Chain A
Amino acid sequence: MTMEDDIKTASADAGTNPADAATPAAERSTFQRILTVTVGPIVAAFVLSAIILMLVGVNPLTYYGYILERSLFSGLGLQQTATRMAPLLFLSASLIIAFRAGIWNLGTDGQFLLGAVISAATAPLLVGVLPGWALLLIGFVLAALVGAVWSVIPALLKAYQGVNEIITTLMMSFLGVLMASTLVKLVFRDPTTTVPQTRTLPVEDRLPRLFETSISSGLIWGLVAVLLVHLMMTRTAFGLRLRMVGANPAAAAHAGLSVPLLTMATFGLSAGFAGMAGASEILGVAGNVRANWDPAYGLMVIPLVFLARFHGVGAIVLVFFYSALMIGSESAARRLGVPQDFTLVLVASLLICLGLGEFIDQRKRKKER
């Protein structure tokens, strides 16, 4: 018997527990909570990062202002932002699956790059051989498969040996990034250019643009991916099984679920979507993979997914703003001389402020009850 049992027995049977009444006055409204847990940390993170900027002698207002103007308030900027969202959305889908199922897939960077490389390697070869849509489809499918295969070792180690996946996926990620570069330089190299890169997929064969804009239709696929994943996790039996394994593996085993198989499935799906993120970037925007190219989107998306509480729509909104930030800071790196590494600082501040926000929220909820 613990003190918790004393509390619960007495309160539940007394029936006069104010928390049970759930009157609006007693509980903090959802609005207040969103403020503490999502908006507050974002604002705090920006302030914190502003301080860092001032440390290195950059005026934060100028910097932030420039970013906003460049990414959201210009037509071109807005289109670039929308295009940039595509791979980030696929990565969000990947992480939503993993995190809701209790798996720390920190290997998305490696999975992303390998997916990119395989789609870059195969697509140009299929031009003219297959119709345009089939070419793109195969690119995505192969990317998903390669990503999933790259996660097999950590998956097996976790599912059947109980080895912590944080380390295994991280190591595979380092390996994957190097492997991708090797493949580009040695195996899939474009013989016609001096710069080490894969063959280039001609612009007309890439993912079509939307209407009259320069926005890649990868955006649409990314949105579909996130929404599908969200629905799957919240509305289907399979999604509930994954969530159960993530929330309480002992209960899952007790209920007759095969925890190892579901773990493997989680890795496969998550890594597959990460691979597709790479494909969307190549087939939609870049057209080829240069050696040593590593945008490292994977780890950046982690705080976004957490801030969104793993909710699909929330993730989409946050990805939009983050994309704007990225486009703006890339430009700022050229114009204002502030290296893009600053976004890392911002991401880190987001993670830490998010953690603090959750902490404050929990403390307040405890006081209420």
Chain B
Amino acid sequence: MDIVTETPTNLPPEKGAGIIGIHGVTKRFPGVIAIDDVSLTFHPGEVHVLLGENGAGKSTLVGILAGLQEPDEGYLSLNGQKTRLSSPSASLDAGISTVFQHSVLVPTLTVLENLTLGAPWYERPPRDRIAARMAELKNEFALSLPLDAITGELSLGQQQQIEIARALLRDSKVLILDEATSMLTPQGAEELGARMQKLVKSGLAVIFITHKLAEAYRFGNRISVLKQGALAGQMGPEQIGSMSEDQAIDEIVRMMFGREAATTSNTHRESTARDEVVLQVEGLTTPGDADVMGLEDISLTLRAGEILGVAGIDGNGQKQMAEAVAGQLPVTSGRVMLDGEDISKATVAHRRRRGLRYLTDDRLEEGSVAAFPVSENTVLKDIGQPPFWVNGLERPQRIAQHAREMIANFSVRTPSETTPIGRLSGGNIQKVLLGRELHGEARVVVFNKPTYGLDLQNIDTSRQRISEIAERGLGVVLISTDLDELMALSDRILVMEGGRIRGIVDNDGSGEALRLRIGRMMAGEEEHKQASA
């Protein structure tokens, strides 16, 4: 293995020192070491990728560089000089700008205001100066932004551009992009990759954080692999240049897990679709408002044993579709039929009892109550139902027993069933939610981004479970922003954009060609629907 270490300080500001360095940095949180003795330097002129699975410590590292946290051990250096970044202001003053995964802009302010945010309160926004510089940036980096638009109304891709523009307006030396492609189409990601190269050519250092191996190869000049908080390996420009994408991925996986790339993640799943139709949705339409996308004439058919993937950029109506089907969102027209029964007017509880289950993506804000114990969370959707409640009175023993069984069956790591669920990791909360949704007679399960934010092991297990569920004869709707995941698991893939279905395609294993088609639909192009319904 190839671990790069840097020894101390006060190196003269020449190429070897890099703009920023971290030296022997360790960061601990209660009960865990998030970053363990990591040393790295970042140089101008290259895109330095920080690669690691979820939970490997990337976010903490970003937090330290952005001034949100300080290391417990070790130190940072700026141009070879030892330095401290004790607040976001300090980080910004040091020339570091961070674009977080979820845009940290104020939705109700205009673009201009967000660009000047942080300036002293008694000053006036220098509109003309900014407009002039934005014109320059437009030429150089293809960043085009309407200064007086309300930020919240722009697309997520545009919001990301605002944050990048802000970094450039501040004449930043270092730009950190944290999981920046999760909100983009494949084409959008390519554009970002190209933009990053332009940025580094103009003298910046770009730190690109991702968990996607292919992106690391495609967009990076240098790759540092993080594993459980420690540096597991590095690949320099020469190495990357000499390998093909597959070779590079193999090498990275070897660094991360010491084995060859598992082939399960991306192999195409054998279809287990049967003939009978379990779920039929016709012409579902919802009004939508300023904050929430409206649905327009959504129709689909789902067979038993089938996995229907739903692709699309986040925020294009996928969540609203799931909510409308589950009964959480009122519809203005359309029908939902479950096993032939019209449930369009049924309540959420009734649909659930009939077998329609919905696993939300928002585990803590919607799917569970963080302060309640795990046991209560397992029956949260069945309040009042026997055997857990009899005549309205709770039967704590039965609930506890049920919870313990679920914990065992789904391998939930928790001190006990009385632990408040908010203390559990995302993956374990997800397991509890999954167990809850599968309880009883489930017929259709709608998954909304089930593997989001989980570490690789949990992702694998989740995907296996989803396959098993389909094999058992349930219908599965799988909403995901991970195109690889959809292509590995789905029988058919439905693409949503702007609240509409742009097309439904068979997952015919045609790889790149299919990916491009889907990408175009995600961007809004229509495709006449495949006649698989």
Q: Are B179 and A1 in contact (CB under 8 A)?
A: yes
The answer to whether B394 and A369 have CB atoms under 8 Å apart is no
Q: Let me know if A25 is at the binding interface, CB within 8 A.
A: no
B453 touches A5 (CB 8 A): yes
13 example contacts (A-B, Cβ-Cβ < 8 A) are as follows: A1-B54, A2-B59, A3-B60, A5-B59, A7-B31, A7-B32, A10-B34, A12-B413, A235-B394, A236-B394, A238-B392, A247-B372, A254-B367
Say which residue of B30, B34, B349 sits within 8 Å of A366 (CB atoms): B30
Cβ contact within 8 Å between A240 and B426: no
Residue of B nearest to A244 (CB): B369
Report the minimal beta-carbon distance from A253 to chain B, rounded to whole angstroms: 6
Chain B residue at smallest Cβ distance from A369: B30
Instruction: Report if B29 contacts A (CB, 8 A).
Output: yes
Task: Give B413's nearest chain A residue, CB to CB.
Answer: A12
Q: B185-193, B376-384, B491-499: which one contacts chain A?
A: B376-384
B229 surroundings in chain A (CB, below 8 A):
10
Segment at the interface with B among A13-21, A222-230, A265-273: A13-21
Query: Are B32 and A10 touching (Cβ within 8 A)?
Result: yes
**Residues of chain A contacted by B34 (CB below 8 angstroms):** 3, 6-7, 10
Distance A368 CA – B381 CA, assembled complex (angstroms): 33
Chain B residues within 8 Å of A369, by CB: 30-31
Known: A10-B32, A237-B394. A256 touches B426 (CB 8 A): no
A3-B59, A13-B457 provided; 17 other pairs, C-beta below 8 A?
A3-B34, A5-B59, A6-B56, A9-B54, A9-B427, A10-B228, A11-B30, A14-B32, A18-B31, A19-B31, A237-B383, A237-B384, A247-B371, A251-B369, A251-B380, A253-B328, A254-B348
| CB of A129 closer than 8 Å to a CB of B | no
Known: A18-B31, A240-B383. A8 touches B393 (CB 8 A): no
B366 at the interface (CB under 8 A from A): yes
Q: Which residue of A lies closest to B384 (CB)?
A: A237
Contact of B63 among A3, A18, A247 (CB under 8 A): A3
Is B33 in the interface zone, CB < 8 Å from A? yes
Nearest 8 A/B pairs, CB to CB: A9-B55, A256-B348, A8-B425, A237-B384, A369-B30, A11-B32, A12-B425, A17-B31
Closest B-chain residue to A14, C-beta based? B32
Contacts of B360 in A (CB 8 A): 254
Interface string of A333-369 (1 = CB under 8 A from B): 0000000000000000000000000000000001111
Contacts of A247 in B (CB 8 A): 369-372
Is A255 touching B380 in the complex (CB atoms < 8 A)? yes
Distance A1 CA – B34 CA, assembled complex (angstroms): 13
B32 proximity list for chain A (CB < 8 A): 7, 10-11, 14, 17
User: Looking across the interface, which residue of chain B has its beta carbon closest to that of A11?
Assistant: B32
Interface residues of B in 60-101 (CB under 8 A from A): 60, 63, 68-69, 101
Instruction: Decide: A251 near B366, CB < 8 A? Known: A8-B426, A236-B392, A237-B394.
Output: yes
Return the contact of A9 from the options B365, B371, B376, B425 (Cβ within 8 A): B425
Q: Is the CB of B348 within 8 A of A255?
A: yes
**CA distance in complex: A326, B411 (Å):** 55
Q: How big is the A interface, by class?
A: 35 or more
Asked if A56 is at the interface (CB within 8 A of a chain B CB), the reply is no
A6→B55 contact, CB < 8 A: yes
Q: Does B23 contact A (CB under 8 A)?
A: no
Q: Which residues of B contact A236 (CB under 8 A)?
A: 389, 392-394
The number of residues on chain B lying at the interface, defined by a beta carbon within 8 Å of a beta carbon of chain A, is 59
CB distance from A136 to the nearest CB of B (A): 28
Which has the most chain B C-beta neighbours within 10 Å: A12, A247, A369? A12
Q: Could you tell me if A12 and B30 are in contact, using CB atoms closer than 8 angstroms?
A: no
Q: Is B58 an interface residue (CB 8 A)?
A: yes
CB-CB under 8 A from B423, the residues of chain A are 8, 19
Q: Does A22 contact B (CB under 8 A)?
A: yes
Question: Interface residues of B: mostly helix, strand, loop or mixed?
Answer: loop
- C-beta contact mask, B342-371 vs A, less than 8 Å → 1, else 0? 000001110010000010101001111111
Q: Which residues of A contact B368 (CB under 8 A)?
A: 248, 251
User: Which residues in window 11-52 of B have CB below 8 A to A?
Assistant: 29-34
Contact A9 B31 (CB under 8 A): no
Decide yes or no whether A134 CB sits under 8 A from chain B.
no
Residues from chain B with Cβ under 8 Å of A240 in the complex: 376, 383, 394
Q: Is B57 an interface residue (CB 8 A)?
A: yes
User: How many Å from the CB of B25 to the closest CB on chain A?
Assistant: 14
A28 nearest CB across to chain B (Å)? 14
Is B393 within 8 A of A256, CB to CB? no
Nearest-CB residue, chain A, relative to B352: A256
B150 within 8 Å of A (CB atoms): no
Residues of B within 8 A of A (CB): 29-34, 54-60, 63, 68-69, 101, 178-179, 228-229, 327-328, 347-349, 352, 358, 360, 362, 365-372, 376, 380-381, 383-384, 389, 392-394, 413-415, 423-428, 453, 455, 457
Residue of A20, A241, A251, A369 with most chain B CB atoms under a 10 A cut-off: A251
A250 within 8 A of B: yes
CA distance A236 to B390 in the complex (A): 9
What CA separation (Å) do A18 and B29 show in the bound complex? 12
Q: Are B59 and A255 in contact (CB under 8 A)?
A: no
> Which of B33, B362, B376 makes the CB contact (< 8 A) with A10?
B33
State the A residues within 8 Å of B (CB).
1-3, 5-20, 22, 235-238, 240-241, 244, 247-248, 250-251, 253-257, 366-369
> What's the nearest-Cβ distance from chain B to residue A244, in Å?
6
CB distance from B430 to the nearest CB of A (A): 12
Point out the residues of chain A lying under 8 angstroms from B59, CB to CB.
1-3, 5-6
Taking a contact as CB atoms under 8 Å apart, the answer to whether B415 and A255 are in contact is no
- Cα A7 to Cα B362 with chains together (Å): 19
In the complex, what residue of chain B is closest to A10 when comparing beta carbons? B32
Residues of A near B29 (CB, < 8 A) are: 3, 6-7, 11
Q: Least Cβ distance of B51 to chain A in Å?
A: 13
Q: For residue B429, which residue of chain A has the nearest CB? A: A8
Contact B352 A13, beta carbon cutoff 8 Å: no
Give chain B residues whose Cβ lies under 8 Å from the Cβ of A17.
Answer: 31-32
Contact across chains for B383 and A5 when beta carbons are under 8 A apart: no
A254-B384 contact, Cβ under 8 Å, with A6-B55, A10-B32: no
A368's closest neighbor in chain B, by CB? Answer: B30
Nearest neighbor of B101 in chain A, beta-carbon distance: A1
Chain A residues positioned under 8 Å from B424 (CB to CB):
8, 12
Task: Give CA–CA (A244, B379) in the complex, Å.
Answer: 12
Complex alpha-carbon distance, A285 and B72, angstroms: 64
Which residues of chain A are near B413, meaning CB under 8 Å?
12-13, 15
Which of B327, B370, B415 touches A256 (beta carbons < 8 Å)?
B327
- Residue pair A9, B30 in contact (C-beta under 8 Å): no
User: Whole-angstrom distance between the alpha carbons of A254 and B322 in the complex?
Assistant: 11
Partner of A251, one of B178, B367, B389: B367
- List of B residues within 8 angstroms of A12 by Cβ: 413-414, 424-425, 427-428
The residue in chain A whose Cβ has the minimal distance to the Cβ of B394 is A235
Separation of A237 and B455 alpha carbons in the complex (Å): 36
- Contact yes or no, B57 A6, CB < 8 A: yes
> Which of B34, B68, B101 lies at the interface centre, i.e. has the most chain A CB atoms within 10 A of its CB?
B34
Q: Is B349 within 8 A of A256, CB to CB?
A: yes
Measured between beta carbons, the chain B residues less than 8 angstroms from A10 are 32-34, 55, 57, 228-229
- In the complex, are the beta carbons of B33 and A248 less than 8 A apart? no
Among residues of A, the one whose C-beta sits closest to the C-beta of B56 is A6
Instruction: Name the B residues within 8 Å of A368 (CB-CB).
Output: 30
| Residues of the B chain whose Cβ atoms lie less than 8 Å from the Cβ of A16 | 31
**Nearest Cβ in chain B — how far from A7, in angstroms?**
4
Can you name the residue of chain A whose Cβ is closest to the Cβ of B358? A254
Contact B369 A13 (CB under 8 A): no
Complex Cα gap A251–B365 (Å): 7
Give A53 to B328 CA distance when docked, in angstroms. Answer: 57
**Bound-state Cα–Cα, A172 to B346, Å:** 37
Chain A residues near B427: list those with CB within 8 A: 9, 12-13
Among A6, A13, A240, A248: residue with most chain B CB under 10 A: A6
